Amino acid sequence: MIEFNSPVLTAPDGSIIAVIEEGGPSLSRTPRMGPDAQLLLHPFTDADAVGKARAVSAMVGRRRAGATFVLVTHDEVLMEQCADEVWWLRGGNLVARGDPAEILPIYRRHCAKQLRLAGLGLESALSPTLRDGDGRATLEAIELLGENGEPSTVFRSGEEIAVRVAVRFQAEIDDPVVGIMLRTRIGLNVYGTNTELEHVLVGPVATGDLVRVTFRFPCNLCPGDYTLTAASHDPDGVWHDWMEDAVAFAVSDHRYTAGVANLRAKVYAELSRV
């Protein structure tokens, strides 16, 4: 028997139980446990790959001998590797329990939704790593909008989003071009376009004119952190105002996907026996 704030949960002898505490520590005190159960808080976090593998192997060996372990952890790989059950707690109350293959996908979907909600209503702060140009235009605002039209800094993979760039012109320009570039956290170019490539005329503009350009596209990116660069420039590339990595945003999803582009593959398998 293992007693938390409210649930009394029973762990079979010779088992490894992984406990997810949503929202940070909810165990106001050490739970009451049977004499043969051992509680490990966020185990193996300081171990390297070899040390972690050895520790897990030793723990699994002791489980076979009848020992019970309760791992309070957010290490999903560890849970999938050795846990017999996952107990998901929120504020010390039981949300769900079951096989890791059953509980972890539900938990990931929940986390992706909470991350998306956390970003709602948050306007992107302009903090470019580089700003340059001849001053004939000024980027006054760069907004990232979710599929509901509201500002956000976190988007769901596959969600239709919009980037709205507001440019104030300080001089008469016949044919200004407004463009954007998405990059990964480490600077890899992901996607870029501009009004010239999309055959959208912005000019001619006069001194004092304000132009808002909206780029709308599905956010088919893998979960991770990204930046957005925006610029106003001449067709020959002379910058009016260029803001490098002007705003940062994140993409979340309920499952891990490697890489940058989320191509959402449909996979089929066929078995043939000779």
The most confident of 86-95, 211-220, 260-269, by mean pLDDT: 211-220
Pairing of strands 177-184, 224-233: antiparallel
Q: What is the pLDDT of residue 160?
A: 94
User: pLDDT tens digits, residue range 133-159?
Assistant: 999 999 999 999 988 888 888 898 999
How far apart are the C-alpha atoms of 205 and 186, rounded to whole Å?
Answer: 36
Q: What is the pLDDT of residue 2?
A: 59
- Would residue 168 count as lying in a domain? yes
| Same-domain check for residues 165 and 222 | yes
| Same-domain check for residues 136 and 234 | yes
Domain count, the chain: 2
Output 110 or 171, whichever has higher pLDDT.
171
- Would residue 193 count as lying in a domain? yes
Whichever domain contains 68, its CATH number is 3.40.50.300
Measured at the CA of 129, the angle between CA 127 and CA 135, to 5 degrees, comes to: 85
Range of the domain at 43: 2-98
Whichever domain contains 206, its CATH number is 2.70.50.60
| Same-domain check for residues 92 and 136 | no
| Same-domain check for residues 143 and 62 | no
Q: What is the pLDDT of residue 71?
A: 87
| Same-domain check for residues 94 and 190 | no
| Same-domain check for residues 93 and 166 | no
- Would residue 115 count as lying in a domain? no
The answer on pLDDT for 51 being more than 70 is: yes
| Same-domain check for residues 140 and 238 | yes
pTM reported for the whole predicted model:
0.65
User: pLDDT tens digits, residue range 175-230?
Assistant: 999 999 999 988 899 999 999 999 999 989 999 999 999 999 999 999 889 999 99
| Same-domain check for residues 159 and 247 | yes
| Same-domain check for residues 134 and 243 | yes
| Same-domain check for residues 167 and 237 | yes
Q: What is the pLDDT of residue 117?
A: 66
| Same-domain check for residues 44 and 144 | no
- Would residue 109 count as lying in a domain? no
User: pLDDT tens digits, residue range 105-140?
Assistant: 778 777 767 666 665 555 566 778 899 999 999 999
